[in-house]
Chains A and B, each alone.
Chain A
Amino acid sequence: MQESIGLDRPAKYRIEVRGRLNESWSDWFGGMTIGVERTSDGSAVSVMTGVIHDQAALHGLLRRIQDLGLPLIRVERMADEPE
C-alpha cells in the first residue's frame, strides 16, 4: 500500500552508505538504527533505518552524511508498518 508522500509527514527510511559505521554513530544520525551488511565482494555497507520526522529532517540527515564524506548508495522509503 503506497501512501502519498508529503513534505511534512514522518516516514520510515532505509539509507545505505559505504563503509562500516559503528552503533555509536546512531545519535549523530538522529537516532537511526545502524547495522552492517556485506556486499557480494565482501565490502561493508552500513544500513541506517528508522523513522524520519519530515522531508526537512531527511535532507538534514543526508547533508550530515555528505559532510562526513560517506559515499551514499541508496535512499529508500519503506512502507509504513501497521500500528
Chain B
Amino acid sequence: MKQALTKKLLLVGWDAADWKMIHPLMEAGKMPVLQGLVESGASGNLASLDPPLSPIMWTSIATGKTADKHGVLGFTQPRDDGSGVQPVLSSSRRVKAVWNILMQQGLKTHVIGWWPSHPAERLNGVTISNFYHHMSGPVNNPAPMPPGSVQPERVAEILEELRIHPQELTGSHIQPFVPNAESIDQAKDKRLSTVARITAECATVHAAATWVMEHEEWDFMAVYYDAIDHYCHGFMRFHPPYRDGINPELYQNYKEVVEGGYRLHDMMLRRLLELAGPDTTVIICSDHGFHPDHMRPLVLPKEPAGPAEEHRHYGMIAMSGPGIEKDKLIYGSSLLDITPTILTLFGLPVARDMDGKPLLDGVTTSTAPEMIESWEKVHGECGMLDPAQQGDPWAEQAAMEQLIALGYIDPPDENAEKAIASCQRETKYYLARVYLHKHAYEQALPLLQELFDDSPEQMRFGVRLANCLQMLGNIQEARRITDITIATWEQHAMEQYQQWIKEAEEKGETLPPEARSLTLDDLRQNNRPGLDLLQGTLLLAEEKPEQALGYLQRAEQAMPQRPDLYQQLGQAYLKIKHHQDAEDAFFKALEIDPDSANAYHGLAVVYLRMRRFREASEAAACSLGLLFHNPQAHYHLGMARFRLGDFAGAEQSYLNAIKQAPGMKKAHELLVSLYQHYLNQPIKAQNHRRIIDKLIVQTDTDDLPKSEKSTPQLSAQLSASLQAGRNDIDPNEVITIVSGLPRSGTSMMMQLLEQGGVELLTDNIRQSDENNPKGYYEFEPVKGLMKKHGGDWMEQAKGKAVKVIAQLLPHMPAGYLYRVIFMQRELQEVLLSQHKMLQVEDKSSVNRTQLAKSYLAQLQRIEGFMANHPEIEVLYLHYHDILNGPVDAIAAISQFIGQPLDSKKAASVVDPGLYRVRGQHNDDPVLN
C-alpha cells in the first residue's frame, strides 16, 4: 500500500453541472465558493459516457467501471415477482462501489442520496437512499419514509424529521428563482410547484448530509444532489438568451430559475466546506453537462429517456485540499476516473478491471499507483446488499412518478407484461449503446440485431445497427439495414399520419385542406435533413465520398448548426483530398461546439495530410485533452510527433493507442520502426513484432482514405492471411521488394537474395559498370511505375524479388502482398556515392545540402506510407550491419520472407572491398 495523500475525502455529485453555466457565473462573482475551490485546486472537463443516463453514470462514477460490468442499465428494472417494473435499485449493481472498498479498508464511510442506492446498504456509516428525499401526501401528514431508506436504524428518526415538504416553502424560498411568483396563476401554471419540489428535495439531501457531517465521525462521504439536472430539464428553455418559439411571458417569469439553482448549490457548498474543514480533500463532479445555448435541441425525440438528448457530453470536475495540485487544469479525464483517483488519494491500489485511471495530473504524486487484479476478489465485509433484499414496491411509487414527471419514462402500462417487455427492450438497447461507446462492436451487434428484428419501425435501432455494421466493415449489410430502416420509417410515418387524420375526423375536428393531402414526399421533406445525414454517413463508409457530399451539403442547408454534420463533411472532403475544405468543415464544427473532440481529431488528420505537423500535433492533443479514450487520436498524435522528431513522444502516443486498442497493428508496426531505428531498443522492437504476428486483422484505424487501388478480392485474402499469421502465407503470392535510396546497397541485397536461392525479376538491360561491378539487378519496367498502367507487370513478380527504389514504392499497384527489404545507409555516404557516380557520368550538379533535406523528407513520407498499408510488410536493414554481420542479416531476411536461404552462398556476396565511400565524407566540404 502506498502512502495516503489524504485522510479524509468528501465527494459531492452535482447532476448535470456544466462549466458553460458555471464559468460565466464565477466571472460575475455569483459562485464565489466554487471559484475559491477551483483557484486553489485542480479542475477540468469530465467526459461522459453513452447512454447519458444518470443512474448508469453515477454508478460508473462510484465504481470506475462501465455499465456492462456494474450492471445498472437504466432507470427501471422489472420486479422479480413479474408484477411490473420498478425504479432501478442498489441491488442491481453487481460490483463494489468505492465506499464498499473503503469500508473494507477500515475507513468510516457515509453515502447520501446516491443514484441508485435504494435500499440503503449496510455500511459502517450512515447510508441514505435516493428514495429518502421524495415526499408526498399533505404537509401535515406526509407519507412516511420508505422502509430501507436509511441505515442504521438509530438515525432514522432524526433523518425523517429533516425531510422538507415542498409545501413548507414560502415566497422567500421561491422568489429568488421566480421574482414575480406572486403574479402567477398556479391553477394554470404548475411550474412554481415544480420549483418548490426540486428545491425542497435538494434542501432535504443537504440537511441530511450536513447533519451526518456534524454528528458522525467520517473518513469518506459521498453526497449526491440531483437538483441542477431537474432545474435544467424544467427551465433551461427559459434561460437567456431568449429563443424564438418560447412563450415570452413564460420566459420572463422563469428565466432566472437555472441560475438560481446553481447559486443555491454554491451556497450549500460553503456549508459543506465549513463542516469538512481544511484537512479534507474535496471532489465535486457531474455526470454530464446540459446544453445552455444554441446546442439545446428544440425538439426531443419521442422515445424513452428522450430528455437525455439535452445532456452535453462533458461534465465537470473540481478538486481541492490535501493531495491535490494547486491551480491545475486536468485534461482528458472521464467520469470513470473518479474512483481510481479516490483510491490513489487514500493510498490504495487501483484495480485492473476498472475502466478508468487515476487523474495523476491533479494529484500531488508523480508515481503510478499500485495495481491489483480486482477488488471483487478482496474478501471481507463491505456492506453490499444481498440481491434478495428488495424494498416495498408500493413505497417506490413516488419515485416512479418522479421519473414520469421528468419525462424519463412513459407512464406504466396497465398491462404488466407489456411494461416488462418495454423495460427489457430499453435495457438491451442501453447495453448495446454501452458496447458501442466502448468500441466493442462484436458484442453490440447481436443485441442490436434482436432489437431491429423485433421493432424495425424504431429508427433508433436501425440507425445504430447500421452504424455498428459499418464499424465492423460490413458495409453491404449496413446499406441493407439503412434502406430497410428508411422504408419502414416512411411506411410507419404514413400510417401514423393517416391514423391521425382518421381520429381527427372521428372527433369532428376541422382540418385544413392541405393537411389531408400530405404525401409521402411531404413527410420525407420534413425529415429530409436527418435522412440526408444518414445517407451521407453511409455513403462515406461505402467509399462514395462524392455522392456523400451531395447529401451532406443538402443537409447542411437545412440544419446549419449540427456539429456532427460538419464532421461528416470534413471526412468527405478528406476522402476526395480537398484538404482546405476539410479544414473549413472541422473549424465550422468547432465554432458550433468548441468542445468537440471529434472535430479536433479531424483537424489533426487534415494537418497530417497537409504536412503541417506542428498543427497536427496540437489538434490531436486538444482532442485527447477533451476525450482521452480515443486510440485513433493517440495514433495520429504519434505520427505527428514522429514527423517533428519527438521520438519519445511518438513512442508514448503509440503505446497509449495500443493500450486502448491492443489490436491496432499499425501502431505496433510504427513502434517496431521507432525502437529499431530511432530509440535503439531492439528487444522492444522484437516484442512488438511478435505481437504483430499474433494479431488478428485489425479494423481500419486510419481516417486517411483507403488506397483507391485496394480490391475486394485482396481484402478477403489479406484478412485471411493476416488472421492466419504471416507464416501461413503462400510464398508464391508474395512479392519481395528490395528498396532504399539509390546507392544504399540495393544491388548488393539483390545479389544476396539471388545467391541465397530467391528467384529475381530482372532483365539485365542495365549492364554492370565500375559503380556496380556485379550488376544492377534491375527490371526496366519498374521505372514506369508512376505512369498509368505502369504496374501491370507486377503479376509476374509474384514469388520473386524485384528492385524498386524508395521513391517509387507509393506507386506500386494495390492488390498484392509485398514484403519490402528496405536498405538503409548513412545519408552522407549515400549522397557521396551518388555524387561520385554522377561525376563519373558527368551529371553531378545538384546542391547536395538541399538534396539531403529532400531525401530525409521523402524517407519519412515513404515510411509513413508503408506503415499505413497493411498489405506491405517492411524489414529495415542497415548497410553496415550486413557488412559487419552478414550471417545474422541473412537469418533475419530468411525469417522475414519466410523462405530458407543458402546462408553460405549469400554471405559470399558481401565484399567489404565494395565499401569504397566509408570515411571519405569526413573531408567533404559540402557534407560537413
Binding between chains A and B: no
A-to-B contact residues, CB < 8 Å = none
B-to-A contact residues, CB < 8 Å = none
